[in-house]
A and B are shown apart, each in its own frame.
Chain A
Amino acid sequence: MVDLHPEEKIVLVVRRHWFVFLGEVAALILAALLPLAFPIFSNYVYDLGGQYLSESQITAVTTFVSAAWLLLLWIIFFIIFTNYYLDTFIITNQRVIDVDQVNLFARDIATAPLGSIQDVKIEILGFVATMFNYGNLHLQTAGGDKEIIIRGIQNPEYVKKLIMSTHQSEVVPHNVT
């Protein structure tokens, strides 16, 4: 996933909530239902193509187009799924790593040592986000106005608590001594 430092251990790997993923593929699901509309327009299609094609030929063409359409959607679904699956936020005992899989050929990785995190803010916006418990996580880091934003993360409150507790247990003792 990412190269870890010696003695670095992964505490938590978190992805965007499945409902956010579902929102991304909703258009695909609707588009996949489109071939079901063929029988509704079948009379129109037979009127249009009946003089050139036999009934069995029209059936073969509509089946062919439906399968081609579904294959295209199937490929697009896997591209979206891959982007979703590889888009992760990792908390280790030393730092946080935000892997942003923008698309198949664009990947953005931001890291921040736990010691540099100054503020953690969560946002749970709207009815659906509250019901399904997902939201945005803002990490304010030291050194200028750098901010890491992880959108649509599942259980942001728990993630925030975990960052704070890991910070307390891993970073604060070193600063005290």
Chain B
Amino acid sequence: MNPTDLINVENPGELISFLMPIILVALAIFFLVMAIVLSYHWRKYGVGKVRAAIFMWTYLIGGIVFLSVMVTSKLSY
């Protein structure tokens, strides 16, 4: 099967359905990688434990909220 057969460009609905999980996974990976990079910086360059924890949880909670909205809208599509 030709990979292009998977996407029917004449029907944008299928194209969107194909792209949504890719965008979701890509952003989730980027979000997690940045969580590791940022927490590494906060700990390495002397941000106190409590402040680093506050930054980390704020970052995680905000990101998880946006990711959940993305997952919900993907499921309802």
Interface residues of A (CB under 8 A from B): 1-2, 49, 52-53, 56-57, 60-61, 63-64, 66-68, 70-72, 74-75, 78-79, 81-82, 85-86, 101, 104, 107
- The answer to whether B11 and A52 have CB atoms under 8 Å apart is yes
Considering the complex, which residues of chain B in the window 1-52 have a beta carbon less than 8 Å from any beta carbon of chain A?
11-13, 16, 20, 23-24, 27, 30-31, 34, 37-38, 41-42, 45-47
- What is the 8 Å Cβ interface bit string for chain B, positions 41-74, against chain A (1 contact, 0 not)? 1100111000000010001001100110110111
Q: Which residue of B lies closest to A105 (CB)?
A: B37
Set of chain B residues within 8 Å of A86, measured between Cβ atoms: 41, 45, 47
Give the secondary structure class of A's interface.
helix
- Evaluate contact between B46 and A74: CB separation under 8 angstroms: no
Contact B69 A67 (CB under 8 A): yes
The reply to whether B73 and A64 form a contact with Cβ atoms under 8 Å apart is: yes
Distance A154 CA – B22 CA, assembled complex (angstroms): 44
- CB contacts (< 8 Å) of A63 on chain B: these are 69, 72-73
Distance, CA A165 to CA B72, complexed state (A): 60
* Complex Cα–Cα for A49 and B42 (A): 45
- Nearest A residue to B45 via CB reads A86
Q: 15 more A-B contacts (CB under 8 A) besides A1-B45, A68-B23, A74-B63?
A: A53-B13, A53-B16, A60-B77, A61-B16, A61-B77, A66-B69, A67-B70, A67-B73, A68-B27, A68-B66, A74-B62, A75-B34, A78-B38, A82-B42, A101-B45
Known interface pairs A75-B31, A78-B34, A82-B42. Does A67 touch B11 (Cβ–Cβ under 8 Å)? Answer: no
Expressed in whole angstroms, the Cα–Cα distance for A78 and B72 within the complex equals 24
Given known A74-B63, A75-B30, A75-B31, contact A64–B77 (CB-CB < 8 A):
yes
Would you mind naming 9 contact pairs between A and B with Cβ atoms under 8 Å apart?
A63-B73, A64-B70, A67-B66, A67-B70, A68-B70, A71-B70, A85-B47, A104-B37, A104-B38
